[in-house]
Structure formats: C-alpha cells, structure tokens
Amino acid sequence: MVEILQDFEPFFGYSKTNIPETGAFHYLRKLGVIDIGSNSVRMVIFDGAARSPAYFFNEKILCGLGSGLAHSGRLHSEGRLRAISAIERFVNMAHAMEVPQLTLIATAAVRSASDGLLFCDEIKRKTGKEINIIDGIEEARLSAQGVMLGWPGAYGLVCDLGGSSMELAEINEGIVGKCLTSELGPLILKELKGGRKNRKQHIKETMAKLAAEMGPQHNRLFLVGGSWRAFAKIDMLRRNYPLHVMHEYRISLSSVKKTIKFIETSELEEIRKKCRITEARIALVPMACEILSRLVGSFKPKDIAISSYGIREGLLYENMPQELRDRDPLIEACYFSEAKDARVPGSGNHLYKFVLPLFSRPSKELKRLIHAACLLHDVSWRANPDYRAEVCFDNATRSNLGGLKHSERIFLGIALMYRYRSRPTGSQFENLIWLLKPNFIQQAEVLGKAMRLGAMLWVNGSKQPAHLDWRPISKKLTLKLNSIGENLFGEVAEARYLSLANALEAKDFKIKTE
C-alpha cells in the first residue's frame, strides 16, 4: 500500500484562513481515484475541506469484470472491454479537469483473475497509469477507515460487500481492529452449483467461520457497497421513507426481515424501476439478501447503518494526521463553506455565541448542530429570495455531509428555513417532520428565528453588537444592545425579535441598551 499512499501525501497540506477561532482547516486540492471493482469501475474526484471532502466528480460504469470468474478464472471478456474503455475515458477526463493526482486501485476481480496482471499491463500501455492491486485484508482496513471518515468515534463491525468478495473489519475509538476477507460476493455466489439450497448452505458455513474468527460483534453494523445501498433503497420504498439519502440511513433488524420478504414476494423489475436501480445491480440483490440474513443472524448487531463512504474515502483518511482525524467533519465542512460562500466569513462564530444562551444546558450533539447552522446561515444568500429557504433546506438535508444522522439533517434544514422565512408552512419539511420529536422541531424554530434576528445585527465579523438573555423558568427574554447594535436595530429587527419571543413562548420580553 505504500505506493498508493505516497501518491496522496502531497495533497494534504496545511493552509490557514482568517476565520476567527477556527485555527487551520485543511484544504484538499482536486484528487482523483479510479476504483476498479468486480462489478463496477468508478472515478471519484475529491475537493474541498479534507476532513469532509466534497465529490467534485463521481461516476461509475457497471462492467461486471468479475462475472464468470468463479467458473473461468478469468476476467469477463465483455466486461474487460467495457472496463478498459471506461478507464481510458476517466483518465482523459481527469486530465481535462487538471486533476493533479489520479490513483488507480483494483480489488477482488483483478487480484483473483489469472489474467489480472495482463489487464493491468494493458491499462498501463493505453493510459500510462499503474493500477495498484490491493489484497482483501487491506481492502477491509481501508473500507473501515472510510467509515471512520464519516463517523468520528465510530464503533462496531464494517461489512464491505463487493461483487466477488466480502470484507469485515472491526472499529473502535478511531482504531481498526481485526480484518477478514472472504469470497462471499454476489457474482461468485450466482455461479455456485447446486442452486439456492447449496448456496445458502455455503453462505451459512462461510459466515460461521468468519464469526468464529472475528469474535462477538454486537454493536453497530456498518454496510458498505453498492448491493447494500440497493437494499437500503428498497427498504426505503417499502417503508415509504421520505428522505432519500443513503449515508447514515438506519435499518432495524426487524426491517431487514420485512424487506427481504418484500423482495422475495415482489417483481424485481417493478422494484428496480421504482428505486432506479440498474438491471445489473438488481440481479445481485437476491444474493445480497441471503448474505445479509446470515450476517445479521451470525453477528446479531444492535442496529444497522448504511455508509456511503468506503475504500476511496479510506485512502484519504489514511494520510490524515491525527490532528485532522480528530476534527469534526461536519464543523470542518461548514467552516469551509462559510469561508467560500458567506458574505461575512467569520460571522458564524459570533452568531453562535449570540444564540447559544437560548438553549439551557444543551447536549454536545445539540451544540454542534447549533454551531453548524450558524456557520451555514449565510452561505445561500445568492439564491433567489423566493426560494432561498427551500435551497437552505435542500442543502442541509441532501448534501454530502458526514457525521450527520437523518434527524440531524432535518433539524439543520428546518433551522435554516426559519433563518430565511418566518413561517415555512407548505414547504418540503412537512413530509419529513415525523422524523423529529416535537421538542426538536421547536428548538430548530427557535434557532432559526434567533439567527434571523442576529443576521441583521452584524455588518462585519469582528464585533458583538448584541447579547441575548433567556430565563426559561420565568420565561423572560432580554435583548441587550450596545451602541453599535442600537444603531443597527430597526423595525424589521424588532419584528424578528417578537417572532423569536413567540417561538420561545416568552411571557416577558424586553430590549435594553448598554
């Protein structure tokens, strides 16, 4: 792996900004990875804040390199041609986009096929690029690190299901523990002789060996890979789940059983169309169901989470210094967004201090959401005013942010809607409201209206013109203005202050000058 990782090192430089009280956040120049898997070839180009990289480009081509591998021992002939064509195109695109570093990695199909090295040689001749073949244990480790990129402090069992292999890795307190690999890939199982009965027996025996070697793993189960994401889409369909974001989607153990039964008793083609799953992927879902059923039965996790981050993100995490790994990916991404798009970069921290007194003894989780909202409160100012609230909501709920539960995405979305609109009735969030408890909805409204008020009192990011004092027991709210704030306070600000008081259900609210 040294060859791969050295390619990444120069692009994790430390760069400082003038954002108050943030220290240095790390900027990631464009960096590309072409991941050559058993089922697909994908190119991802990362950009943005290194701790929470954005996907500047993300495209995959389903090639099926591993189809027929168990029988022939060779890469699928048609899939080989498709893969070579896709890789050539991706390399040319990366060159056209002036990506400074492009790394090619290959996993199970290429490493197992007798003609895998010949395939790599042909790619080298046609593109000038070396393919780094990684083994199963390393694949498991990197996938686990990808999960940790999105979940700081994650713990549990990571299962990465590819076309020709399945990897397991345990993670705890930012450390990857035991890693295992197996040939329990849907493309391999599809070709197993003896039909479904023999296939299920093979899965049972293999999983029992993995469970015995891995040991008890009853915490969270993180699922990585395209087949798991397809299963999650179908679970969302069955549940009529309203937020179609894969990352951090939770599936209960009972829901696994119900969705497997739903798949078994439904027309796959009908499911495919409704979920927008490709024909090649939906064909592998029944095998993935058999694997998942035995996986859950063997390890008995307490809950299940889908991770959109895997081996590619794991390569990025590999080169992060510990200081950067310890940072919160959500807050880092918000700092980056504020520095790039806000009218007054740095005002988010002042706004955070302004609104925080409204929340009595906030939990660590709530404080980071409040902080994130304040950093993002002004990044969508270029949007059409008639749709600005909806744009904010979409950005919060559907953007590629790590370290966010679905309920937390909705909290951010509602808060940012109230930042730009006093009454968001009739908006998208009404379809998602049931995912939040009523007290969180009320807190999001308070936060949004407090930001809506505070945004009127800052014309630069360096001075604090006002302070809020909230006494929750007596329901008394006081806005304290200094001379700067008094000069900025007008009729519109007063109306926003009254709206905030109503959201808090304040019995007594005053404005004082200092």
Convert the pLDDT of each residue in 413-459 to its tens digit: 999 999 988 776 666 667 787 788 888 999 999 999 999 999 988 76
The letter for the amino acid at 397 is T
Q: Read off the pLDDT of residues 35-67 as tens digits, 9 standing for 90 and up.
A: 999 999 999 999 887 888 888 999 999 999 999
Measure the CA–CA gap between 294 and 320, rounded to whole angstroms.
Answer: 35
Whose CA is closest to 286, among 304, 310, 262, 307? 262
Domain co-membership, 287 together with 338: no
Closest CA to 431 of 285, 286, 241: 241
Evaluate whether 134 touches 4 at the Cβ level (below 8 Å): yes
| CATH number of the domain where residue 213 is located | 3.30.420.150
Neighbours of 300 (CB within 10 A): 13
The 10 Å Cβ neighbour count of residue 112 is: 22
Note whether 374 and 345 are within 8 A (CB): no
| Same domain assignment for residues 116 and 149 | no
Give yes or no: residues 81 and 36 share one domain: yes
Average confidence (pLDDT) over 372-394? 88
Going by pLDDT thresholds of 50, 70 and 90, the confidence category of residue 309 is very high
pLDDT value at 363 more than 70: yes
DSSP for 389-444, written as a single string: HHHHHHHHHHS--SS--HHHHHHHHHHHHHHH-S--TTSGGGGTGGGS-HHHHHHH
- State how beta strands 508-513 and 476-481 pair: parallel
Instruction: Report residue 10's pLDDT band, with 50, 70 and 90 as the boundaries.
Output: very low
d(CA 41, CA 224): 16
Alpha-carbon span 233 to 247, nearest angstrom:
11
Q: Are residues 505 and 356 in the same domain?
A: yes
DSSP 8-state assignment for residue 264: H
Q: What is the pLDDT of residue 94?
A: 96
Residues 74 and 182 occupy one common structural domain: no
**164 in a structural domain:** yes
| pLDDT attached to residue 3 | 39
Per-residue confidence band for 469, with pLDDT thresholds at 50, 70 and 90: very high
Q: What is the pLDDT of residue 14?
A: 30
Q: Is there a domain that residue 119 lies in?
A: yes
In a domain, 323, yes or no: no
347-359 pLDDT, tens per residue?
899 999 999 999 9
Residue 324: per-residue pLDDT: 86
- What is the rounded distance in angstroms from the CA atom of residue 12 to the CA atom of residue 48? 11
- The enclosing H or E element of 222 equals strand 220-224
- Cβ atoms of residues 274 and 177 within 8 Å: no
Q: Are residues 255 and 284 in the same domain?
A: yes
Beta bridge partners of 28: 48
Q: How many domains does the chain fold into?
A: 3
Average pLDDT, the chain: 89
**What mean pLDDT do residues 259-263 have?**
97
Place of tokens 């990506």: 99
**134, 149, 183: which is the final residue of a domain?**
134
Task: Answer whether 149's CB lies under 8 Å from 329's CB.
Answer: yes
Does residue 24 carry a pLDDT above 60? no
Same structural domain, 353 and 500: yes
Q: What is the CATH number for 424?
A: 1.10.3210.10
Which of 281, 313, 345 is the last residue in one of the domains?
Answer: 313
114 by DSSP, 3-state: which? coil
DSSP class per residue in 192-217: -TTHHHHHHHHHHHHHHHHHHHH---
Q: CA quadruple 219, 304, 190, 41: dihedral positive or negative?
A: negative
Whether residue 263 sits in one domain with residue 145: yes
By mean pLDDT, which of 69-78, 179-188, 393-402, 434-443 is the weakest? 393-402
Domain of residue 182, residue span: 137-313
> Does the structure show a pLDDT above 50 at 6?
no
Residue 317 pLDDT greater than 80, yes or no: yes
Distant-in-sequence, close-in-space partners of 263: CB < 8 Å, separation ≥ 6? 234, 271, 285, 286, 289
Question: Binning pLDDT at 50, 70 and 90, where does residue 392 land?
Answer: confident
In a domain, 319, yes or no: no
How confident is the model at residue 15, as a pLDDT? Answer: 34
Examine the fold and report which residue of 103, 134, 165 is the final residue of a domain before the chain moves on. 134
Does residue 298 share a domain with residue 206? yes
- Check whether residue 156 and residue 105 sit in a common domain: no
DSSP 3-state of 300: coil
pLDDT at 17 over 50: no
Asked if 461 and 346 count as a contact pair (C-beta separation under 8 A), the reply is yes
Token pair 């993670």 is found at: 171
The span from the CA of 327 to the CA of 313, in Å, is 16
Q: How deeply is 513 buried, as exposed, middle or buried, from its count of CB atoms within 10 A (0-12, 13-18, 19+)?
A: exposed
- Burial label for 242, CB within 10 Å (0-12, 13-18, 19+), is middle
Q: Which value, in Å, is the radius of gyration of the alpha carbons in the chain?
A: 25
CATH number at residue 56: 3.30.420.40
Number of helical (H) and strand (E) elements in the chain, helices listed first: 23, 14
In a domain, 464, yes or no: yes
**Letter for the amino acid at 460?**
N
pLDDT of 1 reads 37
- Token pair belonging to 4: 């791969």
Give the tokens for residue 33.
Answer: 């990875």
DSSP three-state, residue 122: helix
Burial label for 281, CB within 10 Å (0-12, 13-18, 19+), is buried
pLDDT for the residue numbered 26: 63
Same domain, yes or no: 146 and 29: no
Question: 172-186, 228-242, 422-436: which range is least confident on average?
Answer: 422-436
Q: Which residue type occupies 385?
A: P
Q: Is residue 324 assigned to a domain?
A: no
* Contact present, 115 and 153 (Cβ < 8 Å): no
Q: Please say whether the beta carbons of 447 and 436 come within 8 A.
A: no
Position 320 in a domain: no
Confidence at residue 424, expressed as pLDDT on a 0 to 100 scale? 62
Burial 188-203 (b: 16+ CB within 10 A, else e): bbbebeeeeeebbebb
Please report whether residue 427 resides in a domain: yes
Domain shared by 129 and 141, yes or no = no
Query: What per-residue confidence (pLDDT) applies to 20?
Result: 36
